[in-house]
Chain A
Amino acid sequence: MSKNIRVLLADDHAMLRDALSLMLGAQSDIEVVGGASNGREAVEAVRMLQPDVAIVDISMPELNGIDAALQMAEVSPHTRVIILSMQGTSEHLYRSLQAGAYGYLLKGSAGKMLVEAVRAVHAGNRYFSEEMTHMLIDDFIQQRERGTQGSPLERLSAREREILQMVVEGKSSTEIGDLLALSPKTVETYRSRLMGKLGIKDLPSLVKFAVQHGLTPLS
């Protein structure tokens, strides 16, 4: 039998994490080596554990799964990411693939699909649930037809998106500065710059925007 595929689970719902862990762990070729309940923790865990595969939810506090995937690629380039999310718009899919994800499944997909996804992406292949395959095809065709037209989120740098999420989650500039090792003043600069880029003038609209684009959980 081939060596175990080492998997990390990142999802803010502990019960789901436990259930997935049990199911994956029951496979003879898969070993769950860790879990995380927010994006920041997940990146740190990936850095420490260097898993083969990370299964990542998009909607997580502090740092969303897509930007976490982007950072995982830096701290552990061989780790392949599977997005497992409730959300499945073409924008989520596009940004996930851009961030380097190899697979994308919707929550509610059969458990055996997740098992196959782990095996597939570990071997360097792509795996999608059916809805996401259709989304990929349609979006790719549309993109060819209309040429290039990015989503507003892409106008932001990774750092700006990171700060955006923390702002809408109610963190002060000082708190954000502490977390990112920046001065509060720099945080303010980022904040006004990103709001300018998005054409948003107040915090409530910013929160609405972030929720709509899946940057932060609703709760």
Chain B
Amino acid sequence: MTVLKVLLFDRQEMMQDQLRAVLESNAGIAVVGEAAEADMAAVLVCKLQPDVVVMGLADTSSADLLACIRDFHRCSRVVVLAAQSDPGHILRILQAGAHGVLLRQTSGGMLIDAVRAVQAGGTFISGEASAALMHDYIRPRSDMKMDIALGRLSSRERQVLDMVVSGMTSQEIARQLAISPKSVDTYRGRLMSKIGVSNVLALMDFALENGLA
């Protein structure tokens, strides 16, 4: 197996030591150099031509470090240890050309996974680093109406809803759930007002429209 050459770049020396220990615990990875300053890192990247640069961001205001990513990503794969999971921060790191993003405080095992994963050619974003970004990306356009309406229902109400739209009468539902028909009517009334419909016809329409029926 070929050994991956990794260069470490972090302004905090303690962090460098930790990262080195983690990476060198893996037989397939060799740390070929370390830098605490951007200039030094740039020189080492040119001279040593590492396969992967692992660089730590201590805070979100490091514009000069984003410029480094932009420089490095042309000759090496770049894994960035982000300061926090704020979507804007993660986005700027990816925009600068990083191939891997994880949070600074994540476990060592994940750093090794990330180094291997970016070496294969794709972009690795850790679960923690991607959570807020994905949430923001997906949320605005999703079909909120049904999610909100259904989210307001209790599990019993949801159960009754499914039975109503499948065509069961209050009596039948009552028998199946071992409750009184009157309770069924109460549940049905409550769920209809939560969804915002005033009669069963409109309820069927809602169910049909949202693929529940």
Contact = CB atoms under 8 A, between A and B. Distances in A.
Contacts, number: 113
Interface of A: 94, 97-98, 105, 109-110, 112-113, 115-117, 119-120, 123-130, 132-133, 136-137, 139-141, 143, 147-151, 154, 157-160, 162, 186, 189-190, 193
A189 B205 CA distance: 11
A123 to B, nearest CB: 6
B127 A141 contact: no
B120 A112 contact: yes
A149 B137 contact: no
Contact of B122 (A116, A124, A143, A149): A116
Interface of B: 91, 94-95, 110, 113-114, 116-117, 120-127, 130, 133-134, 136-138, 140-143, 146, 208-211, 213
Nearest to B141: A150
A157 B213 CA distance: 11
A117 B118 CA distance: 10
B157 to A, nearest CB: 19
3 A-B pairs with least C-beta separation: A159-B211, A157-B211, A124-B127
A157 B210 CA distance: 5
Contacts of B133: 140
Contact of B141 (A115, A126, A149): A149
Main secondary structure on A side of the interface with B: helix
A193 B209 contact: yes
- The CB with the most chain A CB atoms within 10 A, among B120, B121, B137, B143, is that of B120
B110 A136 contact: no
Contact of A137 (B95, B113, B117, B140): B95
A130 B122 contact: yes
A113 B121 contact: yes
B154 to A, nearest CB: 19
B124 A126 contact: yes
A143 B124 contact: no
B141 A127 contact: no
A35 B137 CA distance: 31
Contact of B121 (A98, A130, A137, A193): A130
Contact of A110 (B117, B120, B125): B120
Contact of B123 (A94, A133, A159, A186): A133
